[in-house]
Structure 1
């Protein structure tokens, strides 16, 4: 896997367009791995990172193959050299994480996804996803070591109107339970909305 960091230039018309539409952002970023995507060898994940004040927008991108950021139009972003990412996960390893995701469930009557409302519901969703993906959300004193840093809704144009997709930024501490399964989770991402910049799980010591 490869991790790339892009510092976007707000003077670019394309950047402003992409920031207004996650689908457009996904389409733009996909140019860097277009051939691998066509061959079915790629799973592109990305996340718009939280920034402060007047700091330029930063996008973190994870790819399975080495991206070619020369595919972006000139002036779109300052691109930091992609870094290889091959984590040697171990059972019992404790790591910090960041995940922007869409904690949701399917409505029984309509089949569409509906947002989870309470903090407790969102943490239960996260616990379940981690368990399925080879991780465990760490607890201390009976409390999960996880915080919700952002809880917003993305407005997505669809069929002539706007739909809202919940985007929650989780940060906290997890434990590796099954290293092989955990690695696959890192590659695949967590939850729905991958093309909206959701699902990228980042780990740090």
Structure 2
């Protein structure tokens, strides 16, 4: 099933009443990867006052989530970070917000706003994309059918040719979006000598407006 997460972490810094908040997020595929990312950021900013975090992961159809305030008042940090993840309908993501205390207390409401804002800005800067399954096939066809396959595929969306080799026959490696498997396979099967499933990959796509 398609889901939304980030493309690539873009560390984001926000100053609020002399406190510095630093946001980092990562796209992950397991709870273990989420924990490893949290550990890496916590070690990077081991001198910070707080490294608060939250994650939400779906792995083999099971959901895993957790969050912590890491010494901030209860409910003022981890839960707001997790709340932003939920609001943006993100999956397979971990966010860590680091705080260097600047000497001015923000109060619980101020902390909730600060951790929420830092998470939102970090996710936005890291680019939200939609991840979908793509299926990679190897195709062997003769030269006469190669041009016909390309002509027919140009009428469709949801595919791309990864590799082409010209030898005695023509070999194509093609990536097909999950929802376009049947119509595109139908075209290829009629025009190819051999069609082999090679692997499945997860691919990022720009989120539709």
For the pair shown, the structure with the greater C-alpha radius of gyration is: 2
TM-score, normalised via structure 1 length:
0.23
Name the structure where helix makes up a greater proportion of residues.
Answer: 2
